[in-house]
């Protein structure tokens, strides 16, 4: 196993899961773990509803395809719990939504 576990993040709310890692390789490792957990506990992940997004200084460059249950995941801009998240050098959340969240 790898000793860099503190770079991995997982946010879960009901049936929405958000995985955060520092590299594409680490993300693929986490998705592989998801495959194994799903197999063990008889859970099915819907790869057609699963998407990926990357940020950082090279956010506009093409990345390796990520796979969940043997199918490629698309790279898109996404929403998590209804909040739009934009791909850029840093994560971007609209200002008006931040104001609502902070209230």
Mean pLDDT for back-to-back runs of 10 residues, the chain (103 residues) = 56 81 87 92 89 83 89 85 79 65 56
Q: State the DSSP H helix or E strand holding residue 5, giving kind and residue range, or none if neither.
A: none
Q: What is the pTM of this model?
A: 0.74
Asked if 20 and 11 count as a contact pair (C-beta separation under 8 A), the reply is: yes
pLDDT of 9: 76
pLDDT of 7: 55
pLDDT of 95: 66
Q: How far apart are CA 49 and CA 46, in angstroms?
A: 6
């Amino acid at each position: 196993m790898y000793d860099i576990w503190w770079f991995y993040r997982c946010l879960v709310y009901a049936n929405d899961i958000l995985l955060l890692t520092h590299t594409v390789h680490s993300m693929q490792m986490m998705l592989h773990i998801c495959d194994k957990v799903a197999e063990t506990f008889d859970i099915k992940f819907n790869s057609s509803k699963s998407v990926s997004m990357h940020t950082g200084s090279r956010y506009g460059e093409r990345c390796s395809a990520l796979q969940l249950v043997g199918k490629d995941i698309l790279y898109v801009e996404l929403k998590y719990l209804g909040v739009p998240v934009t791909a850029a050098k840093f994560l971007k959340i609209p200002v008006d939504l931040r104001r609502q969240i902070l209230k």
